[in-house]
Amino acid sequence: LAKTTQPISMDSYEGQEVNITCSHNNIATNDYITWYQQFPSQGPRFIIQGYKTKVTNEVASLFIPADRKSSTLSLPRVSLSDTAVYYCLVGDTTGGFKTIFGAGTRLFVKA
């Protein structure tokens, strides 16, 4: 089972680009990498998912190097409302389904 490691917290200012890196050294061949955002007293919300190289959607980009042992979530021009906890998940169905949220990164965006 791939385990993920993320920074516990990060600070940023409005308008800056924020990059949050997740380590998953034991990622398996079939594993996808998924990021979720969670605000206080709400359920997590899907941000982006990828398997390799780069994925971009309307809210974020996900960079995955060739060895796939890490991934970086990039949030362009953050605002105060991006203050939240960001979770990196790695999992698949090989050998039985597993989904384990890592500790998450608490991002605090300041004015």
Partner 1 sequence: DAMVIQNPRYQVTQFGKPVTLSCSQTLNHNVMYWYQQKSSQAPKLLFHYYDKDFNNEADTPDNFQSRRPNTSFCFLDIRSPGLGDAAMYLCATSRDLAGGNNEQFFGPGTRLTVL
Given the rule CB under 8 A, which residues bind partner 1?
30-32, 34, 36, 41-46, 49, 51, 87, 91-93, 96-97, 99-104
Min CB(67)–partner 1 separation in Å: 18
Structure tokens at 13: 């200012």
Min CB(39)–partner 1 separation in Å: 11
- 43 or 66: whose CB is closer to partner 1? 43
Amino acid at 50: G
**Kind plus residue range of the DSSP H or E element containing 49:** strand 45-50
Backbone angles phi, psi at 81, to 5 degrees: -75, -5
Min CB(15)–partner 1 separation in Å: 28
Are the CB atoms for 93 and 99 separated by under 8 Å?
no
- 19 or 99: whose CB is closer to partner 1? 99
Structure tokens at 88: 């990196």
